[in-house]
Chain A
Amino acid sequence: MLEKIKDLIAEQIGIDRDDIKPESDFKVDLEVDSLDMFELVVALEEEYSVEIPPEDLENLTTVQSVIDYLQDKGVEA
């Protein structure tokens, strides 16, 4: 799943794919702002057919946290 998530982040937010690591913090390392996160949420929802409610967004701080979150929602790796 990591590779696909990296693709989505690179594509949706325009970040160099090589800079994206599991431990990357969206705000600190990738300098992503709240609207970039909204854009990522839209892409994740469409890619994995899940719904990500606004209150869940604050827990999605790193790339790995997104993977864990999606797996918790039953998305297959």
Chain B
Amino acid sequence: MRGRITGTGSCLPEKVLTNDDLSKMVDTSDEWISTRTGIRSRRIAVGETTASMAAAAAEAALENAGCLAGEIELIIVATSTQDFSFPNCASAVQAEIGAASAACMDISLACSGFIAALHTADAFIRAGIYRKALVIGSERMSSILDWKDRSVCVLFGDGAGACVLEADCGDSGILDTDLHSDGSKGMVLTGGARDMPNIKMNGQEVFKFAVRKVPESIGCLIERNGLTANDIEGFLLHQANVRIIESVARRMQADICKFPMNMMSYGNTSAASIPILLDEMNRKNKLSAGKFYVLSGFGAGLSWGSVLLRW
């Protein structure tokens, strides 16, 4: 028994903030941002909340899966930008979509949050405790940005992605997960402190960590499942930065074409980036049944992890 993704959904705020818009707010330029990050625009929540985006993404995923909200037994929201410390975001989603019988919890692991949430939901399914789960990543990063800090505010965006995970006895679904943290490097990337909420990041340390740990995690995961990078149809990495993803691909000696990207349109949406990308690919029929895919997240904690699945 394992969890299999049977439907995906996403929700992006309507407001688009381009690099040119940002260059009117801080001393930056489209050229500076796009060459260093790959990002050209991002969505910013105006009226949308972390919970409302999560609920909209969840409803789209339910519809895509052909599943009713009342059938959902577990809702996990990965977020670091909850609207409230309590009640949690998952409970707000439950109320909004009408999943009255679902257990509700949030998971906080920043940009690795969706991987942790998927891992958790899959573990509950493997244990036979729940059969149908909603796994959501939703972030309102704009709420913890210092709009005067040009090195950070250009990087992030808002949005939500979701998937329905159902118990399945077949060959498809989540095959294996690898998840790690190094708390000793926690202060390299911080945000959301009660007295100082804005994101602080040491770019060099984050870059070094990401380009080393992501290939290591993916390599370990595929090797222990008897696969090689050639067997993997697509690597869906957290959409932090095009240069990090290019460096990871180079280190893995893998074709960059196998690394789909959408940070150009949405920026870094933290825990939401992987499920948004997954939903885009699913709706464009770019995920092939029976093929292997790897999802990989990395970020604050420091934390990193990967999921191997067969679609």
In the assembled complex, which residues on chain A have CB atoms less than 8 Å from the CB atom of B205?
A: 54
Does A35 sit within 8 A of B, measured CB to CB? yes
Does B204 sit within 8 A of A, measured CB to CB? yes
A/B pair count, beta carbons within 8 Å: 30
Q: How far is the CA of A61 from the CA of B236 in the complex (A)?
A: 35
A-contact bits for B193-234, CB 8 A (1 contact / 0 none)? 000000000111101100110000000000000000000000
Does B247 sit within 8 A of A, measured CB to CB? yes
Number of B positions contacting A (CB below 8 A): 13
Does B291 sit within 8 A of A, measured CB to CB? no
Within the complex, the shortest CB–CB distance from A42 to chain B, in Å, comes to: 5
Within the complex, the shortest CB–CB distance from B264 to chain A, in Å, comes to: 16
| Choice from A33, A38, A45, A57 contacting B35 with Cβ under 8 Å | A33
Residue of B nearest to A45 (CB): B208
* A38 and B203 within 8 A (CB): yes
| Given A33-B35, A33-B36, also A39-B204 (CB < 8 A) | no
Band of interface residues on A:
10 to 19
In the assembled complex, which residues on chain B have CB atoms less than 8 Å from the CB atom of A41?
A: 204, 208
| Choice from B35, B203, B207 contacting A42 with Cβ under 8 Å | B207
In the assembled complex, which residues on chain A have CB atoms less than 8 Å from the CB atom of B211?
A: 39, 42
Residue of A nearest to B151 (CB): A34
Does B243 sit within 8 A of A, measured CB to CB? yes
* B36 and A35 within 8 A (CB): yes
Q: Which residues of B come within 8 Å of A, CB atoms?
A: 35-36, 202-205, 207-208, 211-212, 241, 243, 247
**What are 24 A-B contacts defined by CB distance under 8 Å?**
A33-B35, A33-B36, A34-B36, A34-B203, A35-B36, A35-B241, A35-B243, A37-B204, A38-B203, A38-B204, A38-B207, A38-B208, A39-B207, A39-B211, A39-B243, A39-B247, A41-B208, A42-B207, A45-B208, A54-B202, A54-B203, A54-B204, A54-B205, A57-B204
